[in-house]
Amino acid sequence: MKPFKTPASFLAPIRASHLIQLDVYTNTRNFIHIWLPEVYGKCPNECSVLDRTEDRRFHMEGDTLVTTLTRPGSFEFHGEVCPIEDGVGMRLSVTNLSTEYLSESIAGVCVQFAAAVSFTDTELERYFYVHAGQVNYIKPPYQDYENGHAWFWGTAPNETFAHNPKPDFGFVGLASADGKWVVGHGWDASRVICGNCHPSVSCIHADPFFESIAPGETASTAGVLYIMEGSPESCVERFRCEFRGE
C-alpha cells in the first residue's frame, strides 16, 4: 500500500472537504478515498456541507499529510493522516472561531470504496461491526428506490433501525470480495456507525462526535483505518488491542 497521495487540485470538485487518496494493491488496484470530514453539524438534519470554494491547505510534515479548512468567523478543521502498519492513523481537530459556543456536532468522515473494486459491496453482504462482543454483519439496507440508493445504520435502540442494533463502540468494517482482505475503521469519539452501498457512493462511517466547543477552544479526536490481510475477527481484535487498549 502506498500510504497516500497528496490531493491534486483537479480533484477538488469531487468533495469540498479534505480528500486523501489511498492507493492499495490487493489482487488489483484499489483507490480508497477519505473525506475528512464530508459534512459537519447536527447531523443528519442540520449538517453544513463544506463548499468547494472554501480555503483548504495541504502540506506534509514528515510522513504526515496535514490538511486545514477554514470558515472565517465560524470554525476551522485540522486533519492529519499518517501511515501505520497496514493502514493509516488519523486525527481531526475543530477550532471554534466564533464568539459563541459551537453546539455539539458530528463530523461526517466518509471512507469511500466506489473506486476500490476489491471491496465495493453494493449487495451489503460484507459490512460488519461489533455488537454484544461479537462480529455482527449488517442486515439488509434501507432502500430509497426512487433515487436508486441504499444505506445502513447501527444506531438502535432507534426503532426505525431495529434490525441493526447499537454498536459496542465506534467501529465498522468491510471484507474484500475474495475474503482475503479486510478494512476496519473507527474513532475514539464515535457513537454510531453507518454507510452507503450505492455503486457510486459505497462507503463506511464511524463519525466522531464533538461536545460543544467554547469560543477560541479546540476539540480533537483520533481515528484509524486498517487495510490488512485477514478476517473480520482479526481486524476487530487488532482494533480492540491497538486502538482501544483492551
The full set of domain ranges for the chain reads 2-243
| C-alpha to C-alpha distance for 131 and 153, rounded to whole angstroms | 13
pLDDT digits (tens), the chain, 246 positions: 444 554 444 344 444 456 788 888 888 999 998 888 887 877 544 556 676 666 677 788 888 888 888 888 988 989 999 999 999 999 999 999 999 999 888 898 999 998 999 998 887 889 999 999 999 998 876 666 566 567 777 665 455 555 688 899 999 999 999 999 999 999 999 988 888 887 777 899 999 999 999 999 999 999 999 999 999 999 999 999 999 999
pLDDT for 162 equals 58
pLDDT for 14 equals 46
pLDDT for 53 equals 63
pLDDT for 157 equals 46
Question: Which residue's C-alpha cell is 455539539?
Answer: 104
CB 209 within 8 A of CB 203: no
Q: 70-87 burial string, b = 16+ CB within 10 Å, else e?
A: bbeeebbbbbbbbbeebb
| C-alpha to C-alpha distance for 141 and 163, rounded to whole angstroms | 10
Name the amino acid, one letter, at 10.
Answer: F
| C-alpha to C-alpha distance for 235 and 229, rounded to whole angstroms | 9
Q: Which pTM does this prediction carry?
A: 0.88
pLDDT in tens, 121-140: 887 889 999 999 999 998 87
Cell of 60: 506534509
Residue 185 bridge partners (DSSP): 172, 225
| C-alpha to C-alpha distance for 47 and 32, rounded to whole angstroms | 24
Could you say which architecture CATH assigns to the domain 2-243?
Distorted Sandwich (2.70)
Residue 194 bridge partners (DSSP): 153, 205
pLDDT for 70 equals 86
SS3 label, residue 228: strand
SS3 readout for 162-226: CCCCCCCCCEEEEECCCCCEEEEEEECCECCCEEEEECCEEEEECCEEECCECCCCEEEEEEEEE
pLDDT for 17 equals 59
